[in-house]
Amino acid sequence: MALNKSIARLLRWAGLSSRTQERINRAHAAAFNKTRPCGPQSVLCWAPFRNLYFTYSGDAVACCNNRSYTFGRWPEQSINDIWFGEMAEGLRRLIRQNDLSNGCSNCMEHLKGGNFDAIKAMMYDHLPANPNGYPSVMELELSTRCNIKCIMCYWTMASDARKNQSGKKTLDSPYDKSFVEELSRFVPYLTEIKFYGGEPFLSEINYDAMEMILNVKKELSIIVQTNATILNERVQSLLDRGRFHVTASLEAVDKGCYEAIRIGANFEQVMDNILAFADYAKKRGTFFGISTCAMRQNWRELPEIVALCNRLDVPVYFHTIWHPPGCALWNLPSGELGTIRDHLAARVFPGESANSSKNRKHYQDLVSQLGYWRENALTREKNEVRFEGLSLDSLDYLFRKIEVTLLTDLACGKPEAQKRLDRMVLEISAAVEELPPGYPISPAMEIMNQLNGPFLLSLLEPIDRKGILGRFLSLREEILPDCGTAPR
């Protein structure tokens, strides 16, 4: 079975709900507030108050890191109804209470690890509040089309080159010219608008939206996250007429390493385009930066990327890869994490420019995160003996994993842990008994048992038998193409 791909698919299934029932404690919140670029804020995150993010499927969410709590779905609901609806207001209420229990576990993890610069919430601190209640920024993921095949890419970002081994076509986009027309009524109130992909410069719907923006509010800041493979006459025409802020993805300065990660991209062409984008930003007074996924395959390259960015006087941002597991750093053994942390910590970056200082801080926060993951790995390894004799694809392994998570990661007392475990065993067992004949239960268990404990618990604990059954059934279509039907 294509395990890495199936784990990525599980994330889509997990998006139905990811309630962790955790709140940020005051110490974490206070430490984070001290580092925020605009000073301490009255809420942990302004995203649900000022930002609206449209995903490839039509779901509207507060930000890309929380796809499980949806404000609504286009075209079933209008943009206006989505933004001013009760679901959006519900998340705002939670955030006001420092409650990250509805899909905000990514920022929770970075807060606990002290990796404050990786917390996406800070990206919304500078945004002004619209007095009329409209969003200040919109983020658009209108198409999954891409021209390269990145080894760490979520299955939802299926590229034309990939085409899905099961024979499925590239995901259809629900967005059309009517969405662009609705969007035009919000553009006058926006401070900025962001385009993601896939590759944004490959999709017609993105070009339609960009042309509309140039007609409605030419001075609007247009932010594009690109793989830097495309800089043709059409793109150049847009750049010349608008105010574009570009972030380019780069995982290595070594050609072999880069092209092994971003399969199908030409390193020399990408570097030429990166230099051209950087030059454009300097001439136009706009932003250019580098975005880097920190992974097993490129961790030795990370210091060289920082050095390159310092030479170009541009910022670099490190992104955490949680899945697929073969690319992630967080799930490595403690010894390997310690080696990586020590290697990276030994590199010192001089320079006093604003971007050099910023890059040094980003790099130090990554090192801090690696130390936090090493401590987590040590805890995991101490508990590995508890899994001896249990098969990874079994329910028994799942139940033991839940127990260990409750006792160690969440530090529950034994009575509370037993109570929560008993309830989950009852609900999960009942749901499994109701699965239809032929359901691939073993592959499903194998996938889930490779997720980290707190994340797994957040998916299963808050819902009852009926909800768990629904999760398994929704997962079935994603597993079956890879492993076929299997008797229970």
The domain total for the chain is 1
Helix axes 453-460, 105-113, angle to 10 degrees: 150
Give the phi and the psi of residue 320 in degrees, each rounded to 5: -85, 130
In a domain, 441, yes or no: yes
Q: What is the Cα 89 distance to its own chain's centre?
A: 22
The full length of the chain comes to 488
Give 60's contacts (C-beta < 8 A, 6+ positions apart). Answer: 52, 53, 54, 70, 71, 72, 73, 74, 77, 79, 82, 83
Residue 294 lies inside a defined structural domain of this protein: no
Q: In this predicted structure, what is the pLDDT of residue 350?
A: 86
Q: 3-state class of 295 per DSSP? A: coil
CB atoms closer than 10 angstroms to residue 144: 26
Q: What is the largest CA-CA distance in the chain?
A: 66
- 396 close to 421: Cβ distance less than 8 angstroms: no
- 446 lies in some domain: yes
Buried b (16+ CB within 10 A) or exposed e, 236-250: eebbeebbbbbbbbb
Q: Is residue 234 within 8 Å of residue 117, measured between CB atoms?
A: no
* 454 domain residue, yes or no: yes
pLDDT at residue 347, as a whole number: 96
Asked if the structure places residue 451 within a domain, the reply is: yes
Q: Which domain holds residue 477?
A: 390-483
Smallest CA-to-CA distance from 201 within 157, 250, 238, 163 is with 238
Please tell me the predicted confidence (pLDDT) of residue 482. 41
Does residue 402 sit within a domain? Answer: yes
Ramachandran sector of residue 242 (left: φ over 0; alpha: ψ -120 to 50; beta: rest): beta
Residue 41, helix vs strand vs coil: coil
Considering the domain boundaries, does residue 218 fall inside one?
Answer: no
Structural domain contains residue 287: no
Compute the Cα dihedral for 23, 291, 143, 330 and give only its sign: negative
The predicted pLDDT at position 158 comes to 44
Write out the chain's pLDDT in tens, 488 residues. 344 444 444 444 444 333 334 456 677 788 888 888 888 888 888 999 999 999 988 999 998 888 778 899 999 999 999 999 999 999 999 888 888 777 787 787 777 777 787 788 888 888 888 888 999 999 999 998 899 999 988 653 444 444 544 444 456 789 999 999 999 999 999 999 999 988 999 999 999 999 999 999 999 999 999 999 999 999 999 999 999 999 999 999 999 999 999 999 999 999 999 999 999 999 999 999 999 999 999 999 999 999 999 999 999 999 988 777 789 998 899 999 999 999 999 999 988 899 999 999 999 999 999 998 998 888 778 777 677 778 877 888 889 888 888 887 666 778 888 888 998 999 999 988 888 887 888 877 877 777 777 777 777 776 678 878 877 776 655 444 443 333 33
